[in-house]
Structure 1
């Protein structure tokens, strides 16, 4: 896959050359990202672990289990991550979407753009029928991102994800491949 380009950003799979930039992104945003995901061990915030993650990303893609991309400004600066994970085949043809954007870059439309890019990739390259997202109800910004990218609300999953030791509710949103309707 070549560069997936939007107006301000592009997404592409991670390579080994991205490990330092990924570590920097994770370290600078540690407390911000952990508000919306699980707390990470100190080992996570090492260069070796980020290199390991990138190798895992590559294996997941080879096995059609997940697709992990960096979100980059046009100048090549890594500003976030976006992924399709838990890819399910057979009669489902679906995956979940997840993303993190550098707190300094919030509010500029980059995440919405990245969600649109990865959705196009999911439907046109990976041949998925459905992409699902789960967002904590208080994360209004993330819900807005998904709605701007065409996702629709489907309901509330009660206490379905354990985040930082607490079971959290998630607003379920989904996007259906427009070619399949």
Structure 2
């Protein structure tokens, strides 16, 4: 568990499957504005258990690190954050992604969780660089990343297909200050 003032993050386990299903189901429409449309099969306990199991295996293989975001005061799952496409060798790079419950937006939780994951990535995983891609209309997410120390690098045109449309993304990155 990695803790801050208002939230903590930790890898999800099978016991969290009901809570992750609740989070995904309650925020389906909101999350799909920024991600691909998911089939109804995604919103089942069986699928969530498979996802958590796969995520645990990916973490052991140093490929991907998935965390739940929980509030300190009521210990409630309010989002997820992950480092994915971890590349070792001469790059020492990963991408960051996160989703936060719609009702928890605007309270600083996303910024806190990004800072916690960046600290983990640089000090525990010894990564050199973390990148993010944000749809151009998602100004709030860009602000989250900038508050966490990321800088804008450019626009990746038609970078990710979301809900059938190739979307441009603002590329942001942060470099390990110890390198």
SS in 2 for 1:179: coil
2:135 corresponds to: 136
**Residues 1:87 and 2:91 aligned together:** no
Q: Counterparts of 1:174 and 1:61 in 2: how far apart (Å)?
A: 22
2:8 corresponds to: 10
Normalised TM-score (structure 2): 0.99
**Residues 1:51 and 2:49 aligned together:** yes
1:153 corresponds to: 152
Following superposition, the deviation at residue 25 of structure 1 comes to 0.0
* CA root-mean-square deviation: 0.4
2:161 corresponds to: 162
**Residues 1:64 and 2:62 aligned together:** yes
* Deviant stretches of 4+, over 6 Å: none
Following superposition, the deviation at residue 76 of structure 1 comes to 1.4
Gaps of at least 5 residues in structure 2 are none
Following superposition, the deviation at residue 99 of structure 1 comes to 0.1
Q: Counterparts of 2:143 and 2:97 in 1: how far apart (Å)?
A: 14
1:125 corresponds to: 124
Q: Counterparts of 2:171 and 2:37 in 1: how far apart (Å)?
A: 22
Following superposition, the deviation at residue 89 of structure 1 comes to 0.6
SS in 1 for 2:178: helix
SS in 2 for 1:54: helix
Gaps of at least 5 residues in structure 1 are none
Superposed CA deviations along residues 41-99 of structure 1, whole A, max 9, x for unmatched, are 10000000000000011010011000000000012100000000000011100000000
